[in-house]
Structure 1
Amino acid sequence: MSTETDKERILANILDCIARSCITMPYAERYKNSDKYGAYLGWFESDDSIKIGDLVMCATIRDTKYKFGYITKIISQTHMEIREIGSNSICSISNERFYPIRGMRKLDLLEGKEYTLFCKVMKAIHKADEYMYRFNDINFESNDVAVVSFRKKWTDLTEFHPLIVKINYDNKTSIKQILEQMYQQGYGTKEF
């Protein structure tokens, strides 16, 4: 696993997605086709479109670890509490304009033990080497249960019947334990 922090990885992903969207489409089309072209800053959105949990960029503050972060509390359109990416540190920022960052893949924004589990699941899939199974998605039901979906290779992503596997996990869950749970729930044997 890489030595970069969650914050470094997520900020690099934000930059990568925004840069790709700037290169691949005309400026006027960015807002309308965000799902197709990746991340964008919500330049055209009003501040009242921001919700708790949104990833935002602060427009005017400089040189602070809260320049990008997640909204934890909305006090007013210009005063919000922000959680630093990759930590539980929270700061109240006022007299500011906040731009929501939209269109990011949730996999690019995973932090902490969720990101660690995602990496372990990917290693387990590689270790299992099941040719017809492909990773589709991961969702976290709670702090100790993740739902991983798999699809058949060469399946159109809009019309497929996934294999759903629930994985119980904690900080000590091994790749071997993840594989055992996957196999018990039909990974490698389910007919699509």
Structure 2
Amino acid sequence: MSDKERILMAIITRIIPGVLYAPFEEREEYIKSYMFSRSELKPGDLVFANTSLKVNDFLVGFIDHLEKDCVVIREIGSNRLCNYYNESFSVINKEKLGYELLEGVQYKTYQKALKAFGNYTQYWTRFKSISFEGNMCSLQARKAFKNDTLFEVTFPYNSKTTIASIGRLLKEKDL
């Protein structure tokens, strides 16, 4: 499954039911519409175009940047950009989607980290979180049934990062 397919499926399976079944006053926890104002839109927001009539690759995407007369959208799973003029947007709450929003090497590193936790740590040690800054990845661990951070490891990552290399770092900290 491509990044785009996975992210769109996450939106369908997590956001749509939330909007359908949440009380009316809680629906903005999932999607917030900016019909008449783009002043609250910001780079990195996951949005869908409200008034586009034709389905296209940029209908759901990430805001790359805002210009004086348009909003520049980045296609999910690529670096292709599209300028949207005279369009209104709704912002999708990314917190409701979790790590399924990661793309490319970051998503693959996340998947490898989950496998490393399963293969290289003790039974009670569980994945807590992952974050990326530049070419560095930070993983946090927790004890089963608790949410306090047990330990953290930080390492440079790229497409060649392996489950075993992540596992060795986890094993060193998981005493």
Query: TM (normalized to structure 1)?
Result: 0.82
Counterpart-to-counterpart distance in 1, 2:32 and 2:155: 35
Match of 2:154 in 1: 166
Q: Sequence identity of aligned pairs in percent?
A: 33
1:75 aligns with 2:63: no
Structure 1 stretches of at least 4 aligned residues deviating more than 6 Å after TM superposition: none
Aligned partners of 1:167 and 1:182 also within 8 Å: no
C-alpha separation in 1, matches of 2:170 and 2:121: 13
Q: Give the structure 1 partner of residue 140 of structure 2.
A: 149
The Cα of 1:23 is off from its aligned counterpart by 4.3
Among 159, 167, 170, the alignment partner of 1:179 is 167
Displacement of 1:126 in angstroms is 1.4
| SS of match in other structure, 2:118 | helix
In 2, the alpha carbon distance for the partners of 1:54 and 1:162 equals: 31
Cα deviation 1:8-44 (Å, max 9, x = unaligned): 000110111112313442122222xx2xxxxx22137
2:76 alignment partner AA: I
2:26 maps to 1:29: yes
Letter in 1 for 2:126: R
The TM-score with structure 2 as length reference comes to 0.90
SS in 2 for 1:43: strand
Q: Which runs of 5+ in 1 are unaligned?
A: 35-39
Task: Quote the offset at 1:154 in angstroms.
Answer: 1.4
- Larger RCO: Structure 1 or Structure 2 (Cα < 8 Å, ≥ 6 residues apart)? 2
Q: Give per-residue Cα distances to partners, 1:47-105, cap 9 Å, x unaligned.
A: 321111111101122210000111111124x7211000000001111111111111434
Gap runs ≥5 in structure 2:
none
**What is the aligned-residue RMSD (CA, Å)?**
1.8
Task: Report what 1:116 is aligned to.
Answer: 108
Q: Secondary structure at the match of 2:71?
A: strand
